[in-house]
Amino acid sequence: MKTLKHWSLNASDKNSIELRVDNRHLLCLSVLEQALIRVTLKRHGQFALDRTWSIAPQEDVPWEGRPRESLAGFSLPGYALTEQDDRLIIATEQLRVTVHQPLWLEWHYRNSGGEWVFLASDRPSGAYLLNAHGDGVAHYQRRMSDDRYYGLGEKAGDLQRNGRRFEMRNLDAMGYNAASTDPLYKHVPFTLTHRSGASFGLFYDNLSSSWFDLGNELDNYHAPYRRWQAESGDIDYYFFAAARLVDVTKAFVRLTGKTCFGPKWSLGYSGSTMHYTDAPDAQAQLLNFIRLCQQHAIPCDSFQLSSGYTSINNKRYVFHWNHDKVPQPEAMTGAFHRAGLRLAANIKPCLLQDHPRYQEVAEKGFFIRDSESDAPERSVFWDDEGSHLDFTHPGAIAWWQENLTGQLLAKGIDASWNDNNEYEIWDGEARCYGFGKAIAIKHLRPVMPLLMMRASMEAQQRFAPDQRPFLISRSGCAGMQRYVQTWSGDNRTSWQSLRYNIRMGLGMSLSGLYNVGHDVGGFAGDRPDAELFVRWVQNGVMHPRFTIHSWNDDGTVNEPWMYPAVTPAVREAIALRYRLLPYLYTLLWQAYSEDEPMLRPTFLDHEHDAQTFAECDEFMLGRDLLVASVVEPGQRERRLWLPDNPNGWYDFYTHQWYSGGQWITLAAPLEKLPLLVRAGAGLPISERLQHVDARADDSRELLLFPQRGIGTASGCLFEDDGESWGYKEGRALLLHWEMRCEADAVRVSFSRQGQFKPAWRRLAVSLPAGERRRLFINEVEQADGGGIAVADIAQEAWQGPAR
């Protein structure tokens, strides 16, 4: 590659500075927000790909993509420009970038004291490289000794990425090693870098295969560096800074699109296994799952229908029902609905060459085309060859939506499970329709699953316009959070997977994918033993997505009742999840409305505590619940670090209080998941339900964990009917609470916003065992000695002022 060196100021306007580089290329710096600047490089004055599907700062992108030149959706605050000898300085109130000669950039951030502090810089000995006779591009930055690197979406291994090299190339990595396998399913070229006092994010808006080197590589001729390199496409990156890491993540979500707000039932337990639909009596097996849930008193809200329902022999054919296995789809879906369960059906974007409708689709030109002929491109898929649908072709989108509607939704399927959508087409020049302007697949491979899930979502919205759609997708790119829930793919059953899946989920959450989970129990390999299964379930119930799914090598099935001796422990873990559903649902609402991560590394809210940055197996569910999953066999005690905070922590079960900033050891018998609650928090819980049902959910309790000293804390509870769009028109309830802790009293006041009236009319408010201060609700004394007070939401005093 050729290093770019010399530049001159070419043009400027109120939003951007344009430099001419080596007399042939254009480098543009666009000031988008006070702490967000975009850097683009046009080879010979042009983009390799003139549009993007990931950038959606205020609304979704057009189907055909957002023009790459567009600055729409940003506040565009302007900047101050200073020219000094052989450099330019571009500054906003919060972010400053200096352009040096020869070409490299240096970044500073204004701290809370008003001082400019060094944040990052390019490598002065060569920062921007282009392949002079091909497509490759690269960007080098200096690697500072105190940098901590996070992000990159779904990656194996430790949460901190320092010293490693990663590849972005969507791959069906079935049975992967959660500690080391790379690449995996998703394409999220986004890093977060933590420096003392400030953090920054770097997002490369490039959809081609790429590599990140975060300290694995050394070169004697250069100071330590980090590198991003792509096989094709453009250098087009967004640099944003913030005082806290959590604000970098939130800024990235605002850049690429808000988290979809799915129905409440999507947070319930979802059953799944390939075994049922692969069986010759699939319909009977599926209906038996309903009976077994009822027999074992396991609450459940949905079942994910694996692709065996589409089989001919051992292969899968999307939108084809095997009526020998499932003779009556409508009767089957009706039975699930009567039991209160929804169904999500597996769908795949590739038609095998002997698919009953292959020729029809080929003749219409709906497949991605071979690079050297006008024939459909064929790639290996499910032990055969097939052709991938081209979701940049409006006709292919319409065909997909017509079949999804007629073959699945009309038969009672409630949601789509978009699977096997990595688009492993390695003929990089294979041609996509590109909405009328042909594009090589190498430029947009990961956008295909993004458009696939969008096509599915819009079909579901048209079919059931009054219901919020729920979709799942395994593969995708930055922006997929706008449409789907996702998971960490086909993991291998082991204690190692349990441990490192936690880190994978946190990495996705830091990278803007909040609604995530894992195949509980492990998907591939040997079935889990009883102890591993219990511990995996206990961990899984504390993730936004909770699905037990398997394709065990010995033909067994991961089910809640698979080991009768530990079924009570499994049942108790799932019951705990259902008790916490009001808390989880409020977190999902906050992920959508406030861009708050649901899963959070312990350091995300405790950056002042250096110990929280050490690799560990704990995580936060929201800001209030500390989860200490057991990830080692035979472990019956759990040692963990309590993050330092001013108010301490309570044991969720015993209510014992601990000060923060210390190591503690908790009892961890097999039937118990160690949990702690932040002092000052309030956890809304419900009585146990068999499935989510707003009409039957008629009890609510707020577990308060007061500060031991004097102080004030606040929180909220979100409620609505769980599935409609009514919240957009005020048909929701936001119940705000404030807790003032005094020497002899705990005073709680409530106010409400919205018109929704839940089935529960009274709220129980409880204090920890051993709390002796008097409890006041809206200044009315309720109980003392840690009792439970009950407030009637119909009372005027309870309602308080509307917000």
Domain CATH code at residue 772? 2.60.40.1180
Q: Looking at the structure, do residues 639 and 766 belong to the same domain, yes or no?
A: no
* Three-class SS of 381-439: ECCEEEEEECCCCHHHHHHHHHHHHHHCHHHCCCEEEECCCCCCCCCCCCEECHHHCCE
Mean per-residue pLDDT for 234-262? 97
578 φ, ψ (degrees, to nearest 5): -70, -30
Boundary-marking domain end, from 256, 280, 295: 256
Give the C-alpha separation, 518 to 536, whole Å. Answer: 10
308 φ, ψ (degrees, to nearest 5): -60, -25
Q: Return the axis-axis angle of helices 495-510 and 530-540, rounded to nearest 10°.
A: 10
β-sheet bridge partners, residue 89: 82, 98
Q: Looking at the structure, do residues 710 and 667 belong to the same domain, yes or no?
A: no
β-sheet bridge partners, residue 210: 168, 230
Residues 26/4, Cβ–Cβ less than 8 Å: no
Give the C-alpha separation, 1 to 478, whole Å. Answer: 27
Give the C-alpha separation, 246 to 260, whole Å. Answer: 19
- Across the chain, mean pLDDT equals 96
Whether 270 maps to a domain, the answer reads no
Give the C-alpha separation, 553 to 557, whole Å. Answer: 10
- CATH number of the domain enclosing 62: 2.60.40.1760
Q: Looking at the structure, do residues 616 and 751 belong to the same domain, yes or no?
A: no
Q: Looking at the structure, do residues 27 and 123 belong to the same domain, yes or no?
A: yes
Give the C-alpha separation, 423 to 793, whole Å. Answer: 52
Query: What is the per-residue pLDDT for 383?
Result: 87
Q: Looking at the structure, do residues 121 and 148 belong to the same domain, yes or no?
A: yes
Give the C-alpha separation, 117 to 111, whole Å. Answer: 7
Boundary-marking domain end, from 678, 702, 718: 678
Q: Looking at the structure, do residues 753 and 610 belong to the same domain, yes or no?
A: no
Q: Looking at the structure, do residues 32 and 79 belong to the same domain, yes or no?
A: yes
- The count of structural domains within the chain is 3
Q: Looking at the structure, do residues 639 and 671 belong to the same domain, yes or no?
A: yes
| In the predicted structure, residue 430 carries a pLDDT above the cut 80 | yes
3-state secondary structure of 307: helix
Q: Give the pair of three-digit tokens for residue 63.
A: 């189907």
**CB burial class (10 A; 0-12, 13-18, 19+) of residue 313?**
exposed
Whether 478 maps to a domain, the answer reads no
What burial letters (b/e) apply to 563-602, b meaning 16+ CB within 10 Å? beebbebbbbbbbbbbbbbbbbbbbbbbbbeebbbbbbbb
Q: Looking at the structure, do residues 97 and 55 belong to the same domain, yes or no?
A: yes
| In the predicted structure, residue 787 carries a pLDDT above the cut 90 | no
Residues 275/284, Cβ–Cβ less than 8 Å: no
pLDDT band at 577 (very low <50, low <70, confident <90, very high): very high
Mean per-residue pLDDT for 765-774? 94
Mean per-residue pLDDT for 218-228? 97
Residues 656/706, Cβ–Cβ less than 8 Å: no
Query: What is the per-residue pLDDT for 802?
Result: 31
Query: What is the per-residue pLDDT for 150?
Result: 98
Whether 530 maps to a domain, the answer reads no
Structural domain including 39 reads 2-152+188-256
Percent of the chain whose pLDDT exceeds 70: 97
Whether 449 maps to a domain, the answer reads no
Cis peptide bond N-terminal to 446, omega within 30 = no
Give the C-alpha separation, 251 to 55, whole Å. Answer: 12
| In the predicted structure, residue 681 carries a pLDDT above the cut 50 | yes
**Number of neighbours of residue 559 by Cβ within 10 angstroms:** 22
Q: Give the pair of three-digit tokens for residue 79.
A: 């900047």
CB-based contacts of 739, cutoff 8 Å, min separation 6: 680, 682, 704, 706, 712, 713, 714, 746, 747, 748
Q: With CA atoms as reference, report the closest residue to 518 among 154, 166, 157.
A: 154
CB-based contacts of 564, cutoff 8 Å, min separation 6: none
Unique residue bearing structure tokens 């790459």: 68
pLDDT, one tens digit per residue, over 121-154 is 999 999 999 998 888 999 999 999 999 999 999 9
Say if pTM beats, i.e. exceeds, 0.85. yes
Whether 43 maps to a domain, the answer reads yes
Percent of the chain whose pLDDT exceeds 90: 95
Q: Give the pair of three-digit tokens for residue 149.
A: 């690197």
pLDDT, one tens digit per residue, over 207-220 is 999 999 999 999 99
Q: Looking at the structure, do residues 236 and 90 belong to the same domain, yes or no?
A: yes
Query: What is the per-residue pLDDT for 421?
Result: 98
Q: Looking at the structure, do residues 35 and 105 belong to the same domain, yes or no?
A: yes
Whether 287 maps to a domain, the answer reads no
Boundary-marking domain end, from 256, 278, 298: 256
Whether 510 maps to a domain, the answer reads no
Whether 17 maps to a domain, the answer reads yes
pLDDT band at 156 (very low <50, low <70, confident <90, very high): very high
HSE of 255, CA atoms in CB hemisphere, 13 A: 28
Q: Looking at the structure, do residues 201 and 60 belong to the same domain, yes or no?
A: yes
